[in-house]
């Protein structure tokens, strides 16, 4: 740690980062393989196989809602996370709500300059620490929460199944919409009209359950509206 920063930085570029890129790719792809575990257990042990059409439909819906985010998030976050931190964060999840604040706070308190290898080392260490904390708390919590949930009376469980999710959706929508209220209003109007039209059977001519039509129009319509507003200086971008 006491070597002059010059030689340390060249070792960082010439040895450390190539090795991180190799191991980062291997671990990420292993995670892809292992993430199929629960689905394969359902298939092999419980012999529950959803219809192919439902799996394809689910995949298409998730690609249209989150496909853009797959690319935007790594690009937006990596200046803070650094290269090793990016692999670790996308493997461990909970990025915007957990890894990013932890990395940012650690860089702030260790007082490292922006855009240096030192910064990404601190981010790496902080993310590693946060992973242990997150897994420990969730594991203990899950073991405690599941029996509590199962012991609840039927009507409370039904209420949890029905009304927790809308509250979370409303809260997350408000959180993102806070900085861009006009975009939020336009997006909500588009999505509501599309949903009502679908419920009334206007998209019955489309194959399958036409959720994907509603999603495509909602997501891309809102992005387009946001871009138009940006071009016309209707959005303050100081935040």
Partner 1 sequence: MGLSDEQLKTGLKTGVISAVGPAIAVLAAMLALIAVVGGPVAWMRLSVIGSVAFELPAAELGVSQLGFGFGEDGITETAFATAVWTMTLGGIGWLVVAAFGTPHMEKARRKIVGGRETLLPIVTAGAMLGAFAYFVSGEVTAGAPETGSVAVGGLVMLSLLKIADENDVQWIREWALGTSMAVGLVVGMGVHMVAGGGW
Binding to partner 1 (CB under 8 A) within 128-187 occurs at 128-130, 132-135, 137-139, 141-142, 145-146, 149, 157-180, 183-184, 187
Of 19, 63, 202, 206, which lies in the binding site for partner 1, with binding defined by CB under 8 A?
Answer: 63
What is the number of H-type helices and E-type strands within the chain?
A: 9, 0
Of 14, 44, 45, 46, which lies in the binding site for partner 1, with binding defined by CB under 8 A?
Answer: 46
The reply to whether 206 sits near partner 1 by the rule CB under 8 A is: no
The reply to whether 37 sits near partner 1 by the rule CB under 8 A is: yes
Of 11, 15, 202, 206, which lies in the binding site for partner 1, with binding defined by CB under 8 A?
Answer: 11
Q: At what angle do helices 181-199 and 211-231 cross, to 10 degrees?
A: 160
The reply to whether 48 sits near partner 1 by the rule CB under 8 A is: yes
Instruction: Provide, rounded to whole angstroms, the least separation between the CB of residue 202 and partner 1.
Output: 14
Tell me if 187 sits within 8 A of 239, measured CB to CB. no
Tell me if 124 sits within 8 A of 84, measured CB to CB. yes
Looking at residue 116, the DSSP 8-state letter turns out to be S
Distance CA 14, CA 108 (A): 27
The reply to whether 55 sits near partner 1 by the rule CB under 8 A is: yes
Number of C-alpha atoms within 13 angstroms, CB side, residue 105?
Answer: 10
Of 15, 19, 67, 202, which lies in the binding site for partner 1, with binding defined by CB under 8 A?
Answer: 67
């Amino acid at each position: 740690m006491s070597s002059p920063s010059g030689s340390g930085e060249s070792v960082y570029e010439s040895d450390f980062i190539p090795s991180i890129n190799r191991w980062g790719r291997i671990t990420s792809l292993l995670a892809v393989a292992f993430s199929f575990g629960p689905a394969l257990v359902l298939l092999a042990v419980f012999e529950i196989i959803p219809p192919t059409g439902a799996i394809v439909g689910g995949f298409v819906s998730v690609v249209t809602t989150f496909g853009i985010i797959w690319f935007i998030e790594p690009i937006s976050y990596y200046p803070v996370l650094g290269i090793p931190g990016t692999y670790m964060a996308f493997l461990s999840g909970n990025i915007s709500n957990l890894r990013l604040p932890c990395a940012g706070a650690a860089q702030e308190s260790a007082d490292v300059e922006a855009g240096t290898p030192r910064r990404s080392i601190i981010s790496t260490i902080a993310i590693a620490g946060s992973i242990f904390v997150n897994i420990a708390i969730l594991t203990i919590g899950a073991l405690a929460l599941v029996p509590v949930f199962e012991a609840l009376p039927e009507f409370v469980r039904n209420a949890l199944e029905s009304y927790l999710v809308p509250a979370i959706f409303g809260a997350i929508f408000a959180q993102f919409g806070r900085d861009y209220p006009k975009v939020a209003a336009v997006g909500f109007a588009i999505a509501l009209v599309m949903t009502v039209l679908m419920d009334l059977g206007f998209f019955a001519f489309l194959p399958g359950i036409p959720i994907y039509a509603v999603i495509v129009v909602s997501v891309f319509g809102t992005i387009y509206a946001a871009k138009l507003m940006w071009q016309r200086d209707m959005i303050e971008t100081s935040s």
